[in-house]
Amino acid sequence: MDQYAVVGNPIAHSKSPRIHAYFAQQTEQNLMYSTLLGDLAEFENQVRDFFEKGGKGLNITVPFKERAYAMCDILSQRAKQAGAVNTLMMGKNGDLFGDNTDGVGMVRDIIHNHGQNLKDKSVLILGAGGAVRGVLEPVLAENPESVTIANRTVEKAQALADQFDCLASSFEALDGPFDIIINGTSASMTGSLPPLKDTLVSDCTWCYDMMYGKDRTVFLQWAHERGADGADGLGMLVGQAAEAFYLWRQIRPETASLVEEMRKQM
């Protein structure tokens, strides 16, 4: 049976085994997917050992995405842009291939599960950390009218904007409204929103939080109070897994039913 795993530290909380077991059953694929607690000193050796023993693919999560990136012989374009890898597979010639499926997982969730279109839209992305870097290339591939990155430290936003050829702003200088707002800050974990103006939102604005939870996130609550619809990032979690599954098995699982089932059990 083909072996797959997710590596991280901590890892016991990971939903990935459940997600991939669902995909395998849905698509009638014979595989085993488990968790692997990454050793901070021995991560690279753990990855090599997994593939030497015949493992087919790994997902990589915190805090190892940049270290996985550095190990790869071949990188996808979106991994190069993200500067981090969340999916590994071994080529037939023994080359380690790395990809980053976070951004495409989010974009597919936005388009296919929520019926939103990024083409020709004004998009605001909040935050300038690794999560945002990982989604910029797939967002820009949808040909939005504009993408603005806003961050507390404008210099970080400007560095990303220069790399990806988009706009940068402080939160205070933002001038809306925007068609789509994506939250890539940790606000929904900390419960502390950045200073966002009411004018960023109109009744046509749609908001997406890369975080998710049982209840409406603090960002989505802010949007809701100003008349904007939106969605959280549970579908992104499932979507990035589906993209990794497709890379490994060349079959794309349907995700909406799993997102709905996981939502009910939260």
Torsional sign, CA 240, 245, 246, 252: negative
Q: What is the mean pLDDT of residues 65-77?
A: 97
Confidence of residue 178 (pLDDT cuts 50, 70, 90): very high
Comparing 2-100+235-264 with 116-231, is the CATH topology the same? yes
The pLDDT assigned to 180 comes to 98
Topology of domain 2-100+235-264 in CATH is Rossmann fold (3.40.50)
Sheet architecture: strand order including 167-169: 167-169, 146-150, 122-126, 180-183, 206-209, 229-231
Q: Is 65 among the residues known to form the active site? A: yes
Q: What is the mean pLDDT of residues 38-42?
A: 97
Average of per-residue pLDDT values in the chain: 95
Mean pLDDT over 130-149 rounds to 96
State mean pLDDT over 42-55.
97
How far is Cα 102 from Cα 135, in angstroms, rounded to an integer?
A: 6
Instruction: Read off the pLDDT band of 191 (50, 70, 90).
Output: confident
The CATH code belonging to domain 116-231 is 3.40.50.720
Q: Which of 65, 119, 156, 197 is catalytic?
A: 65
Confidence at 187, pLDDT banded by 50, 70, 90: confident
d(CA 204, CA 201): 8
Domain-wise residue ranges, the chain: 2-100+235-264, 116-231
Q: Which of 70, 80, 97 is nearest to 244 (CA)?
A: 97
